[in-house]
Amino acid sequence: MVITYVKEGLPQAREDRQDLSDQVSLMLRVIEAEGEAAVTRYARQFDRHDGPVLLSDADRARAIAMVPDAVKDDIRYAHDNIRRFAQAQRASVTDCEIELAPGLVAGQKLIPVSAAGCYVPGGRYSHVASALMTITTAKVAGVPHITAASPPKPGQGIPPAVIFTMDLAGADAILSLGGVQAVAAMAYGHFGLPGADILVGPGNQYVAEAKRQLFGPVGIDMVAGPTDSMILADRRADPETVAWDLVGQAEHGYNSPVWLVTNDTCLAQSVLAMVPRLIDTLPEPNAENARRAWDCFGEIILCDSFEDMARVADEYAPEHLHVQAEGLEWWLNRLRVYGSLFLGAETTVAFGDKCAGPNHVLPTSGAARYTGGLSVHKFLKTVTWQRATPEAARPVAAAAARISRLEGMEGHARTADLRLRG
């Protein structure tokens, strides 16, 4: 495989995470020991919000009333797409059973977790889409209780549009909390709520580290890093469309890499010249985020063939992979390593980020090599069962006893021997 870097990014720096890890570990220990008092104290310190943590029905109603009808309609449109896609995913997996031999029956059941905690990030942007992606998916999976948490704006609380979205998606409880304290409150079951069996949703480095440390007793969707996006494009691609699609994803943050892989030199050079100009037209701080991401980590890679382009994509394992090249069916069948795939110039990653239907909580930092993104399956436990008649148990018992003794496990063997009597 021969590739040429028209623009090469800097290596992603490996952050010294020890200080971050120590901070999060201390906070989790304090919250576990002191409970709601510690959560409230951290909320005042870090969220700079001293209002109620658990939103009442009246709080919800007041916030919902503030949201314009046009905004509600857009959110409902996105919710409907996300809900119906999640329902299709849920229908793709079912309970089953098989008679392995006469009288020996085994099966599987899909049981939703009892409680989920959905984190909805705040910060620079109000992430209504993240609320839809996490809460809606848990609801469709059949989770009986869903707690949602989002950072409040200082002195204001959670933005009304986010509260409306959480309510629409099916949140049973809403916590006005951000960061480690929000993740811990959901995991430990504070404020009279059930402790979460699984924690999901994107967040900053503190949220990701808290989820990582809590994993084990509590499930998580994934440990997320900076978002990333790759475009595969040929000579037919429109340079302005490609450039804007790169810029649009770079605005996520200063450490969000975007990559163009192409077999056309003219396209590569056109996009290289165009991206900085497009970034300059963005408002601040979006322009600064995109500029730093592009200058430091943006790449343009020139390949000889479609196959080489596909190999680069497989090697990078991008979170978002967008094909703007001919032969879309070939790409769909060939590409194997990505979080979510966007086929054709008529789609864009922003569709998936906001409202198209498939989930936008996706593997980053190369994790697409071994996992997909958030789905109803994350909220379902696939458990198995078996039963046997006395006659069917005999050959199973005989084999189990022999294998147990082969392994040196005499106690196991004797439990099997019991089933051979009579």
- Note the CATH architecture for domain 18-220: 3-Layer(aba) Sandwich (3.40)
Rounded CA separation 250/248 (Å)? 6
Q: What is the CA radius of gyration of the chain?
A: 25
Residue 58: how many CA atoms within 13 Å on its side-chain side? 1
Candidate list 319, 322, 360, 391, residue with the active-site label? 319
Measure the CA–CA gap between 233 and 275, rounded to whole angstroms. Answer: 15
34 is catalytic: no
Q: Exposed/middle/buried for 357, CB within 10 Å: 0-12, 13-18, 19+?
A: middle
Question: Would you state the pLDDT for residue 15?
Answer: 57
pLDDT at 125: 64
Does 360 participate in catalysis according to the annotation? no
pLDDT of residue 60: 96
Q: What does the pLDDT read at residue 154?
A: 87
Q: Each residue's pLDDT tens digit in the chain (422 positions)?
A: 778 999 999 887 655 678 999 999 999 999 999 999 999 999 999 999 888 999 999 999 999 999 999 999 999 999 999 999 999 999 999 999 999 999 999 999 999 999 999 999 986 667 899 999 999 999 999 999 999 999 999 888 999 999 999 999 999 999 999 999 999 999 999 999 999 999 999 999 999 999 999 999 999 999 888 999 999 999 999 999 999 999 999 998 889 999 999 999 999 999 999 999 999 999 999 999 999 999 999 999 999 999 999 999 999 999 999 999 999 999 999 999 999 999 999 999 999 999 999 999 999 999 999 999 999 999 999 999 999 999 999 999 999 999 999 999 999 999 999 999 85
DSSP characters over 339-350: SEEEESTT--HH
Question: In 95-204, where does DSSP find H-type helix?
Answer: 128-131, 137-141, 160-169, 179-188
Residue 11, preceding peptide bond in cis (omega within 30° of 0) = no
Q: How many residues are listed for the chain in this entry?
A: 422
Is 98 buried (19+), middle (13-18) or exposed (0-12) by CB count in 10 A?
Answer: exposed
- Kindly give the residue spans of alpha helices, DSSP state H, lying in 49-109: 57-65, 69-91
Structure tokens at 376: 């109803």
Cα 209 versus chain centre, distance: 15
How far is 368 from 372, CA to CA, in rounded Å? 6
pTM: predicted TM-score of the whole model, two decimal places: 0.92
How high is the pLDDT of residue 46? Answer: 93
Residue with tokens 């028209």: 6
pLDDT at 127: 84
Domain definitions of the chain by residue range: 18-220, 226-369, 389-418
Predicted pLDDT of residue 296: 95
- In this chain, the answer to whether the domains covering 18-220 and 226-369 adopt an identical fold is yes
Interacting residues of 34 by C-beta distance below 8 A, sequence separation 6+: none
| CA gap 354, 78 in Å, rounded | 7
Domain 226-369 carries which CATH code?
3.40.50.1980
**Catalytic choice (320, 326, 360, 410):** 320
pLDDT at residue 179, rounded to an integer: 95
Residue 11 has a pLDDT of 83
| Sign of the alpha-carbon torsion through 23, 29, 34, 35 | positive
